[in-house]
Chains A and B, each alone.
Chain A
Amino acid sequence: SQELEQSPQSLIVQEGKNLTINCTSSKTLYGLYWYKQKYGEGLIFLMMLQKGGEEKSHEKITAKLDEKKQQSSLHITASQPSHAGIYLCGADVNAGNMLTFGGGTRLMVKP
């Protein structure tokens, strides 16, 4: 079974709307990483969360980590077309040096 489950798999929102993407791990999390990927390109690092209850923000994107639930959420406020892409969560489940990724959430923002 998948170690990391992301939901939803895809999302279409109207520009200006808020949205949330979730990532749930079946294993203990030693670190949770959010990346963004444009179609056919490499992954761009967004944020890393390590401690339960931790919350980080960058511009209009906020990520939270619920360690007990082994879950993280990524929230985008007032979405813009530039937010479109694939959002991937990656987890360090081996306490150190390798990331396992979820299946990704494909976001489209309609102008």
Chain B
Amino acid sequence: EAGVAQSPRYKIIEKRQSVAFWCNPISGHATLYWYQQILGQGPKLLIQFQNNGVVDDSQLPKDRFSAERLKGVDSTLKIQPAKLEDSAVYLCASSSLRQGARGYTFGSGTRLTVV
């Protein structure tokens, strides 16, 4: 079974620029999560999708962050404009409805550096 795919693997941008991350979950997984992990901290949930609908985006900084999962499969997370404090690893995870939290599979993450 293919895992959760994320790209790019690394990204370096200047502050105030825009950036987008892509995630392809495991086939058949209805639930998709984006987490932000700042160096030295644990992952923090940004947004949770179920199919193409948003379940929880309470911790997403909506003035600069946006995410979509239009067809209920792939997802894109965008930051516009980026700030220095957005430097972090952005992790995507997916799970099936049946397994929920028990079935989390993580991608390798995208490491963002904002300079």
Choose the segment among A35-43, A52-60, A68-76 that binds chain B (4+ C-beta atoms closer than 8 Å): A35-43
Tell me if A20 counts as interface (CB < 8 A to partner B): no
* Given contact pairs A42-B108, A43-B91, A99 touches B101 in the complex (Cβ within 8 A): yes
- Hey, what's the 0/1 contact readout for A66-110 against B, CB within 8 Å counting as 1? 000000000000000000000010101000111111111000000
Taking the complex as formed, is B60 at the interface, i.e. its CB lies under 8 A from any CB of chain A? Answer: no
The 3 closest A-B pairs by CB, nearest first: A97-B100, A101-B42, A92-B101
Q: B92 — nearest CB in chain A belongs to which residue?
A: A42
Contact of B111 among A6, A40, A88 (CB under 8 A): A40
A6 to B45, CA, bound (A): 18
State the Cβ distance, B28 to closest chain A Cβ, in Å: 15
Provide the bound-state CA to CA distance between A35 and B91, in Å: 14
A interface with B by C-beta (< 8 Å):
4, 6, 30-31, 33, 35, 40-45, 48, 88, 90, 92, 96-104
Across the interface, B41 reaches (CB within 8 A) one of A44, A92, A98, A103, namely A103
- The interface residues of chain A lying within 8 Å CB-to-CB of B95 are 97
Is B56 part of the contact surface with A, judged by Cβ < 8 Å?
yes
- Taking CB atoms, residues of chain B closer than 8 Å to A100 are 45
> Are A98's CB and B106's CB within 8 A?
no
Interface residues of B (CB under 8 A from A): 4, 31, 33, 35, 40-45, 48, 55-56, 89, 91, 93, 95, 97, 100-102, 104-109, 111
> Which residues from B are CB-within-8-Å of A31?
101-102
Contacts of A40 in B (CB 8 A): 89, 109, 111
> What chain B residues lie within 8 Å of A103 (beta carbons)?
40-42
Q: Beyond the given A42-B106, A92-B100, A102-B42, could you list 7 further A-B residue pairs with CB under 8 A, ordered by the A residue number?
A: A33-B104, A40-B111, A43-B43, A88-B43, A96-B100, A98-B33, A101-B44
Chain B residues whose CB sits within 8 angstroms of the CB of A42 once the complex forms: 4, 91, 106-109
- B48: chain A residues at CB < 8 Å are 97-98
How far is it, in angstroms, between the C-alpha of A97 and the C-alpha of B89 when the chains are bound? 22
Is there an interface contact between A98 and B91, defined as CB atoms closer than 8 Å? Answer: no
